[in-house]
Amino acid sequence: MARILIVDDDPDMVESITLVLTGNGHQVAARHDTAELAAAVREVHPDLIILDVVFPGDDQAGFKAARELAADPEVAHIPVLMLSAVNQLSNLGFSFSDKDISRDYLPVSAFLEKPVEPARLLARIETLLHGG
């Protein structure tokens, strides 16, 4: 199975996703912030990254981290699944989805809204890892 890095500041969310992933044979590493994320990714060597958007002190930290990862040729090939409740937390008047994925603004492989059913999360991970 795959090695997956979860980047989320919510310990309960990290724990619940970890339980789902390890229960399905994946190895999991976790970070609770986006500081120097590209360097951490190079250390962990994940097959996939699950990235939140909103972190304490920066409501756009996940967006910035996604752009940092996409700009780093050593880690840009790793699929990033943005998993966030940003649509529920913000008052932007619009919401994010897979339709907003773009090379410049939202350079991720997929976007899922929290909360997400475990089966849907696993299916999306399978698609990102194996195209199936």
Structural domains of the chain in order of their starting residue, each with its CATH number: 3-130 (3.40.50.2300)
- Taking the C-alpha atoms of residue 65 and residue 68, their distance in angstroms, rounded to an integer, is 5
For residue 99, pLDDT beyond 70? no
Is 50 exceeded by the pLDDT of residue 93? no
**Band (94; pLDDT cuts 50, 70, 90):** very low
pTM assigned to the model: 0.90
117: CB partners within 8 A, 6+ apart: none
Contact in structure between 62 and 55 (CB atoms under 8 Å): yes
